[in-house]
């Protein structure tokens, strides 16, 4: 089971003796102090990956390292400080991985190095050879005072990944490189959600199939980008009276995270009372779950749609329709970053629903390959790369607005999936 799916299950605790308190002031920052602090951070990382930042408590962290709760405060006075330390350490390690890959001589070599190192990192963590890394999506659960600093660190890493693709020749080329970096980054961050369904001995094959997808995309030879947007009824999939709440809540949760999308903010945007909110939903957790259900219902309606034409036309129409929803920005699909806000048992149900969507998409790709209308690739791996890339497109809706024509923005972003990460035909 992958590190992102270990809900409710933590590894055996690593024993740490209680630190010696220093009367009258903070403890000296010795090597011994640093080692024990790292053990506390690692335990918190595992708890956060299982329970989310909201579910992480000093009590559970203390139990994982055989300390008293008060001893944890010797290292971190507040939960937010501990969570921030876990995210900072994860970002530091990913930054080092990116910097190492950036030394390769060409865009293709840099992408290959980054993907290979990420696979190795996840395998080593799963086998207990390296320290765990935190699921970065839950950074949005932190207070702004902490989150802003982490967001700057994350953005710097993203810009470094974008630089994998070389110096842009013009603004359109820069925009394409941004889309490339988004697809590559999100595919890697989603990787722990499905990679460990494969045996370790299959990892090299999975990695090579993913790199093949990044190199050549899904379109067949001479496959043109001429999709047909699929008409869908977004409100029809919502329960009666919930559509407006779901629309506003989905957008706010995707932008601000669970904490930032308060009931008060949602009600204010709709110009209704908080009582109206609770008339339709019992609690905010119910709202997050309803947003996920509605998003998956939307994806299902697109993937089930009857589209005339060749396999590539059908698949490209589905991709274009979902990207159009995301880049429009008014009522996007809920970002999977909200997964960590859900209780562990509910989160697993939502992940299972996501897996079913990926299986449906894999079936569509497999059918297209068998008909000779989609480039031969591994359908399962392709679907697991496409789904997070579509989901993450919402974060570029402001990027899309710079094109003036959203269809043009959709085409540029989609080219990364259609023709691979190194094809410039859309610019």
Tens-digit pLDDT string for the chain (427 aa) = 334 444 434 444 343 434 434 333 444 568 888 899 999 999 999 999 888 888 899 999 999 999 899 899 999 999 999 999 999 999 999 999 999 999 999 999 999 999 999 999 999 999 999 999 999 888 877 888 888 999 999 999 999 999 999 999 999 999 999 999 999 999 999 999 899 999 999 999 999 999 999 999 999 998 999 999 999 887 775 665 678 888 888 888 888 777 667 778 888 888 877 776 666 666 667 788 888 989 999 999 999 999 999 999 999 999 999 999 999 988 999 988 787 777 777 888 888 888 899 999 999 999 999 999 999 999 999 999 999 999 999 999 999 998 989 999 999 999 999 999 999 998 8
Q: Judge contact between 1 and 10, C-beta under 8 A.
A: no
Q: Which distant-in-sequence residues (6+ apart) come within 8 Å of 228 by Cβ?
A: 307, 309, 313, 317, 320
- From CA 29, how far away is CA 15, in angstroms rounded? 20
**The two three-digit tokens of residue 24, written as one number:** 């009258």
- From CA 134, how far away is CA 343, in angstroms rounded? 17
What is this structure's pTM? 0.87
HEC sequence for 292-357: HHHHHHHHHHHHHCCCCCCHHHHHHHHHHHHHHHHHHCCCCCCCHHHHHHCCHHHHHHHHHHHHHH
**Burial letters for 336-346: b for 16+ Cβ neighbours within 10 Å, e otherwise?**
bbbbbbbbbeb
- For 190, 207, 266, 273, 322, the CA distances from 389, given in Å and listed in that order, are 9, 17, 27, 36, 11
Residue found by looking up tokens 């190194």 in the block: 422
Query: What does DSSP assign to residue 7?
Result: T
CA terminus-to-terminus distance, the chain: 41
């Amino acid at each position: 089971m992958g590190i992102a799916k270990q809900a409710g299950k933590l590894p055996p605790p690593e024993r740490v003796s209680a630190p010696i308190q220093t009367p009258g002031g903070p403890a000296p920052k010795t090597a011994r102090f640093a080692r024990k602090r790292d053990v506390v951070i690692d335990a918190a990382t595992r708890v956060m990956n299982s329970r989310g930042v909201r579910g992480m408590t000093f009590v559970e962290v203390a139990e994982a390292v055989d300390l008293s709760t008060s001893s944890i405060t010797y290292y971190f006075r507040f939960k937010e400080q501990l969570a921030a330390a876990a995210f900072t350490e994860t970002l530091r390690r990913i930054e080092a991985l990116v910097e190492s890959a950036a030394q390769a001589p060409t865009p293709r070599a840099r992408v290959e190095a980054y993907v290979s190192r990420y696979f190795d990192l996840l395998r080593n963590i799963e086998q207990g050879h390296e320290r765990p890394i935190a699921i970065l999506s839950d950074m949005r659960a932190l207070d702004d005072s902490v989150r802003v600093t982490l967001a700057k660190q994350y953005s710097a890493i993203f810009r470094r990944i974008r630089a994998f693709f070389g110096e842009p020749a013009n603004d359109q080329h820069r925009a394409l490189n941004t889309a490339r970096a988004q697809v590559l980054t999100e595919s890697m961050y989603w990787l722990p959600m499905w990679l460990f369904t494969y045996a370790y001995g299959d990892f090299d094959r999975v990695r090579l199939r993913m790199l093949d997808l990044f190199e050549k995309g899904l379109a067949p030879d001479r496959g043109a980008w001429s999709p047909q947007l699929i008409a869908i009824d977004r409100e029809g999939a919502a329960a009666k009276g919930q559509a407006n709440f779901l629309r506003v809540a989905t957008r706010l949760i995707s932008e601000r995270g669970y904490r930032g999308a308060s009931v008060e903010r949602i009600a204010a945007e709709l110009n209704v009372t908080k009582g109206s909110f609770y008339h339709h939903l019992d609690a905010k957790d119910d709202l997050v779950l309803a947003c996920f259900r509605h998003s998956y219902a939307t994806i299902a309606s697109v993937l089930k749609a009857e589209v005339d034409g060749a396999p590539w036309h059908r698949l490209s129409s589905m991709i274009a329709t979902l990207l159009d929803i995301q880049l429009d920005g008014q009522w996007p699909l809920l970002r999977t970053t909200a997964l960590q806000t859900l209780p562990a048992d509910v989160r697993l149900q939502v992940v299972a629903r996501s897996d079913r969507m990926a299986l449906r998409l894999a079936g569509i790709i497999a059918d297209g390959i068998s008909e000779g209308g989609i480039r031969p690739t591994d359908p399962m791996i392709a679907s697991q790369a496409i789904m997070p890339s579509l989901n993450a497109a919402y974060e570029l809706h402001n990027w899309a607005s710079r094109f003036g024509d959203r269809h043009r923005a959709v085409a540029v972003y989609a080219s990364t999936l259609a023709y691979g990460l190194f094809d410039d035909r859309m610019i």
